[in-house]
A = this chain, B = another copy of it.
Amino acid sequence: MVRTTKQRAAIAEALRRAARPLLPSEILSEAQQSVPNLNLATIYRNLNLLIEERLVASVHLPGQPARFEIAGHHHHHFHCRQCDKVFDIHACSSAISQLAPKGFAVDDHEVILYGRCPSCGPARQTRAARPRQARR
C-alpha cells in the first residue's frame, strides 16, 4: 500500500509549482527547501511511483537527461536551442497518427519542436558558430 510521506509530497509540490518539465536535480534543490536531507535516489523512486500512478509524465529530449512534469492532457514540447528550456505546447494535430504506412497500428505519438522561445527572440544570422547542444 502506498504511503504519504513528506518526501513524496515535496516532490509532487515542486512539480506542481513548476510551469515546465524539471530535471531530477532541479526537483531536488526545489524540494530540499522543505525536506533538507532529501536524496536523489528518493526522487527517482518517487518519480517512478508517480509515473506508474499516471500522476507524473516523463519528458525525453534527444541527447538530454529525462525531465518530469505533472501529467495533464495530451500535449507536446518545444525545446529552445538558445536557453535549453523546455515548454509545453498545448496543441496537437490528430493528422499526425496518419503518417504511418498501412500495416502499422499507431496508439500514441510524440512531437518535439525545436527553435527559439519568445524570450530568446529570433535567430541572429551574425553568429560565428551556433552553440550546439552541450555534450554531457
Q: Which residues of A contact B (CB under 8 A)?
A: 58, 60-63, 66, 76, 78, 81, 87, 89, 91-93, 95-97, 99-101, 103-118, 122-123
Contact = CB atoms under 8 A, between A and B. Distances in A.
A95 B95 contact: yes
Chain A binding surface SS class? mixed
Contact of A60 (B63, B115, B123): B63
A15 to B, nearest CB: 18
B96 A78 contact: no
A108 B99 contact: no
12 contacts: A78-B100, A91-B99, A93-B93, A96-B96, A100-B113, A104-B117, A104-B118, A105-B123, A106-B114, A107-B114, A108-B115, A111-B111
A114 B91 CA distance: 19
A132 B112 CA distance: 23
Contacts of A61: 60
Nearest to A59: B62
B108 A96 contact: no
Q: What 10 A-B pairs are tightest by C-beta distance, nearest first? A: A103-B118, A60-B62, A106-B115, A108-B114, A91-B99, A105-B115, A110-B112, A107-B115, A105-B116, A106-B113
Contacts of A66: 62-63
Nearest to A106: B115
